[in-house]
A and B are shown apart, each in its own frame.
Chain A
Amino acid sequence: AQKITQTQPGMFVQEKEAVTLDCTYDTSDQSYGLFWYKQPSSGEMIFLIYQGSYDEQNATEGRYSLNFQKARKSANLVISASQLGDSAMYFCAMRPSGYSTLTFGKGTMLLVSP
């Protein structure tokens, strides 16, 4: 079984600052994928970034980067230069290779202030 832990229920950041959202995971699988999704108040889950367990480099997608520390089983999301539109719930999720099911954390609510 997989488990995702997001310990920060809410985070506040000022516009243009960087913010790190924490995610730790627990799995006995050797091959797996880690994902971050953003959910605005409208409800739609928006895919942000993916990291494979065998990827040696940390994933980056524009202002998003994933700080992957395999030994510590952590996959923190870093958002650089926060924007007001970044205010949303952020979910960390994982899936082992061979399965389609995503296991999600409880989420972190990010509020960006002007």
Chain B
Amino acid sequence: KAGVTQTPRYLIKTRGQQVTLSCSPISGHRSVSWYQQTPGQGLQFLFEYFSETQRNKGNFPGRFSGRQFSNSRSEMNVSTLELGDSALYLCASSGGLAGASSTDTQYFGPGTRLTVL
């Protein structure tokens, strides 16, 4: 079974631009979560989508948004980029069982490394 894929793997943008990252989950998985990883803040949860609906949201400004399509693929968008948005963005997929059982393991993609100049 193919794993989680993320595109692009690397991205360089300038301040003020916007960017869209893509994530394709493991086949059959309906939940997609996004995390931001930086050296200073570590791994922080951005949001989770399940069946095309945002189910959970982390503490990030409205410049960070996402969506999920009917085939469970997800996109994350960051508008008006800031230098502090430079990070590794990780996508994770899981079955997303009803109620999100604690056994519902999240499997991660390789990440998109975003650099904002």
Q: Does B48 contact A (CB under 8 A)?
A: yes
Output the residue of A44, A53, A97, A104 with the most chain B CB within 10 A. A44
For the side of the interface on A, what is the size category? Answer: 20 to 34
Query: Which of A13-21, A30-38, A76-84 contacts its partner?
Result: A30-38
Main secondary structure of the interface of B (DSSP, over half): strand
Total A-B contacts with CB atoms under 8 angstroms apart: 70
Once the chains are docked, how many angstroms separate the CA of A52 from the CA of B103?
Answer: 7
A84: shortest Cβ distance to chain B, in Å? 21
Output the residue of A91, A101, A105 with the most chain B CB within 10 A. A101
Once the chains are docked, how many angstroms separate the CA of A91 from the CA of B88?
Answer: 15
B102/A102 in contact, CB under 8 A: no
Query: Which of B12-20, B68-76, B89-97 contacts its partner?
Result: B89-97
CB-CB contacts of A83-114 with B at 8 A, as 1s and 0s? 00000000100011111111111110000000
